[in-house]
A and B are shown apart, each in its own frame.
With several copies, the nearest count.
Chain A
Amino acid sequence: MRTNPVGTVTPRLGVDIGGLILKNPVMTASGTFGYGEEYAAYNDLNRLGAIIVKGLSLESRPGNPPPRIMETASGMLNAIGLENVGVRDFIREKLPFLRQFDLPVIANIFGETLDEYQKVAEILNRAKGVHALEVNISCPNVKKGGIAFGADPDMAAEVTRKVKGAVDLPVIVKLTPNVTDVAVIAESVEAAGANAVSLINTITGMSIDVERRVPHLKNVTGGLSGPAIKPIALRMVWQVARRVKVPVIGIGGIMNANDALEFLIAGARAIQIGTASFVNPRAVSDILDGLAAYLARHDISHINNLIGTLTGGEEC
């Protein structure tokens, strides 16, 4: 295990995510940091709060036909289609690399059925070097006619219970923004035992090539991420943080320390960096530095004294 060579991790940044203690609140968002290897030459992985790996299913999945991505105004659409090596290959081929670091590994998981969720969770629970699970409930449940597990409070709770029942690891449930009231889903998974919730996953969008009159993505629709969605993500995090007691992890369009601070002030206990890593492979490190600098500049002794300290609004 490598040690931190620069020592810029300040004790004032530590956070507790449903029993998982992180040295700071900066994590990588699933699907945007690979399995860590790709970014290890760009960042000292020992410094990160945690790494959340690309979503894992029971068997490997090829993903969707290309084109899979398209840039939009201040954002991007992706329809990767949850391509992944499968949970067993992950443990065999990817996890050993990550175990070298002083870095909590959070496995993002998904399934097409409740059983698949449970099985993936069980397998990971036995793996050495997995510190928590993040359950992606934003993928369509093929058995239920295309309605995502995450869009229904009862189904979301059911998935949560299944996964919780299968593991001793902390379980973070990752919520979809494509719902009428995300706080209702958050409350439901909290009641079902989730140790934390993370949000938001991507917002479904599309884009058309008007010269050829075809969608830019072969899959027609894709998930929108990046700065464009930040105001929506922030609003949802703020709504959820006022309704649940478990820690809330903020995700969506965080490009710099300022954006990260907005989420923390709105009530997020930690944050995840997604699309920003594509724009700047050192985004996670830069954001971490920026957070530390803000706390120092504002003389805030611990990040917990910043979290959820929004004041001054007058809701009408």
Chain B
Amino acid sequence: MGKSGSERMPCGEPYRSAVSCRVMENRRVAEGYFIMSLGLPAACDTPLPGQFVMLRAKGVQAPLLGRPLSVYAFKRGEKGATLEVLYKVAGTGTLLFSGLPDGGDVEVLGPLGGRFEISPGVKNVILVAGGVGVAPLSFLASHCRGDRADARPRITCYVGAGSADALVGLDRLEASCSDVRICTDDGSCGHHGLVTDLLEKDFNLLDSRDSVICACGPSAMLKRMAELLEKHTVACQISMEERMACGLGACLGCAVAVKAGDGGFRYRRVCKDGPIFDLRELIWER
């Protein structure tokens, strides 16, 4: 997320490094879900929608490795910038994050990875978010709003969660999207059922050259989408997740299988070649 002061590259740019920064706020937004705001130095790079950061609590020895979290929001201010992540407590690392006090110190590496690409001609952006998958999509939606008004696509967002309690980030989505359609597994809010069912119903609306789907969510959701889209041609970009060590493309730890030209497969790195992939490129069962 930043640069080291001491040395400079031959081009005059300082070398990059993980940046120590302060937790400005670490707010519980639902049972097990938190939004953390981090204060970054002015010299930090501006993240693009779909990119992520590797986050580590500073000075702790465990967990050892950073944890990848998508950029949920980013804003430049007077003296620096604010980066937000929206995260769910899933295990040791995120549990530790959830306990970080305001004013606590973290290390941020990034922004890393590639972005969602919405080409200028796109008229309809369809977002499909499962659970905490709302994070990168909300950032994407706010970005689309930021573009020139005449070029703004229409944004429809499908949001799924286990139950009403686990619906997070709706406020921002509603501010950025033309339409937000909600469903919950238990019917406690919105449509009763899976987000993919809701999506399926609307399919005739979606399947167009002017549309693009961007999705992020649990792999069961993404798999189901892959089946749905088999007989359609609408473009679909998804944000993938895998365990990561380096986040930079060096360790080859975050491999996912994609189709290779010859009908076979090859592995791609989620951190460097992704995390955004063409849904149709992925191989779900090997």
Q: How far apart are the CA atoms of A62 and B249 in the complex, in Å?
A: 15
Interface flags, B238-259, vs A, CB<8A=1, else 0 = 0000111111111111111100
User: B286 to A65, Cβ gap below 8 A?
Assistant: yes
Q: How far apart are the CA atoms of A20 and B267 in the complex, in Å?
A: 35
Cross-chain pair count, CB within 8 angstroms: 120
List the A side residues contacting B254 at CB < 8 Å.
66, 68-69
User: A71 to B64, Cβ gap below 8 A?
Assistant: yes
Q: Does A5 contact B (CB under 8 A)?
A: yes
User: B8 to A75, Cβ gap below 8 A?
Assistant: no
Q: How far is the CB of B264 from chain A (nearest CB, A)?
A: 9
Interface stretch, picked from A30-38, A119-127, A290-298, is A30-38
Q: How far is the CB of A171 from chain B (nearest CB, A)?
A: 25
Q: Does B220 contact A (CB under 8 A)?
A: no
Q: Does B203 contact A (CB under 8 A)?
A: no
User: A281 to B18, Cβ gap below 8 A?
Assistant: yes
Q: How far apart are the CA atoms of A38 and B255 in the complex, in Å?
A: 16
Q: How far apart are the CA atoms of A241 and B63 in the complex, in Å?
A: 30
User: A44 to B9, Cβ gap below 8 A?
Assistant: yes
User: A68 to B255, Cβ gap below 8 A?
Assistant: yes
List the B side residues contacting A279 at CB < 8 Å.
56, 64-66
List the B side residues contacting A42 at CB < 8 Å.
15-17
Contact partner of A278 (CB less than 8 A), chosen from B6, B92, B245, B255, is: B245
Interface stretch, picked from A76-84, A130-138, A243-251, A304-312, is A76-84
- With A42-B16, A280-B18 as known contacts, state yes or no: A69 contacts B286, CB within 8 Å: no
Q: How far is the CB of A53 from chain B (nearest CB, A)?
A: 10
List the A side residues contacting B261 at CB < 8 Å.
none
User: A285 to B245, Cβ gap below 8 A?
Assistant: no
Nearest-neighbor residue (CB-CB) of A47 within chain B: B7
Q: Does A70 contact B (CB under 8 A)?
A: yes
User: A78 to B246, Cβ gap below 8 A?
Assistant: no
User: A33 to B64, Cβ gap below 8 A?
Assistant: no
List the A side residues contacting B15 at CB < 8 Å.
41-44, 282, 285
Bin chain B's interface residue count.
Answer: 35 or more
Q: How far apart are the CA atoms of A34 and B66 in the complex, in Å?
A: 18
User: B267 to A83, Cβ gap below 8 A?
Assistant: yes
User: A282 to B17, Cβ gap below 8 A?
Assistant: yes
User: B243 to A70, Cβ gap below 8 A?
Assistant: yes
Within 8 A of B (CB), among A258-297: 275, 277-282, 285
Nearest-neighbor residue (CB-CB) of B17 within chain A: A282
User: A67 to B242, Cβ gap below 8 A?
Assistant: yes
Q: How far apart are the CA atoms of A279 and B246 in the complex, in Å?
A: 7
User: A281 to B109, Cβ gap below 8 A?
Assistant: yes
Q: How far apart are the CA atoms of A99 and B66 in the complex, in Å?
A: 31
User: A6 to B7, Cβ gap below 8 A?
Assistant: yes
- With A65-B286, A76-B245 as known contacts, state yes or no: A278 contacts B251, CB within 8 Å: yes
- With A5-B7, A73-B62, A279-B66 as known contacts, state yes or no: A39 contacts B251, CB within 8 Å: no
Contact partner of A83 (CB less than 8 A), chosen from B16, B62, B252, is: B252
Q: How far apart are the CA atoms of A39 and B247 in the complex, in Å?
A: 11
**Which of A43, A44, A70, A71 has most B Cβ within 10 Å?**
A71
Q: Does B178 contact A (CB under 8 A)?
A: no
List the B side residues contacting A66 at CB < 8 Å.
242, 254-257, 267
Q: How far apart are the CA atoms of A190 and B82 in the complex, in Å?
A: 56
Q: Does A144 contact B (CB under 8 A)?
A: no
List the B side residues contacting A14 at CB < 8 Å.
none
List the A side residues contacting B243 at CB < 8 Å.
67-71
- With A6-B7, A74-B64 as known contacts, state yes or no: A83 contacts B255, CB within 8 Å: yes
Q: How far is the CB of A169 from chain B (nearest CB, A)?
A: 24
User: A227 to B64, Cβ gap below 8 A?
Assistant: yes
List the B side residues contacting A76 at CB < 8 Å.
64-65, 245
Nearest-neighbor residue (CB-CB) of A72 within chain B: B64
**Which of A44, A63, A281 has most B Cβ within 10 Å?**
A281
Q: Does A111 contact B (CB under 8 A)?
A: no
Nearest-neighbor residue (CB-CB) of B56 within chain A: A279
**Which of A33, A65, A68 has most B Cβ within 10 Å?**
A68
List the B side residues contacting A6 at CB < 8 Å.
6-8
Q: How far apart are the CA atoms of A69 and B6 in the complex, in Å?
A: 33
Q: How far is the CB of B63 from chain A (nearest CB, A)?
A: 6
List the A side residues contacting B266 at CB < 8 Å.
62
Q: How far is the CB of A312 from chain B (nearest CB, A)?
A: 13
Q: How far apart are the CA atoms of A71 and B253 in the complex, in Å?
A: 11
Q: Which residues of B contact A (CB under 8 A)?
A: 4, 6-10, 15-18, 56, 61-66, 92, 109, 242-257, 265-267, 272, 286
Q: Which residues of A contact B (CB under 8 A)?
A: 2, 5-6, 31-34, 38-39, 41-44, 54, 62-63, 65-71, 73-76, 78, 80, 83, 226-227, 275, 277-282, 285
Q: List 5 A-B contacts (CB under 8 A).
A: A2-B10, A6-B6, A34-B249, A80-B251, A281-B109
Q: Which 6 A-B pairs have the closest CB atoms?
A: A34-B250, A69-B253, A38-B250, A278-B245, A278-B246, A38-B248
Beyond A31-B252, A275-B64, A281-B109, 6 additional pairs, beta carbon < 8 A = A38-B250, A39-B248, A42-B16, A44-B15, A63-B252, A282-B18
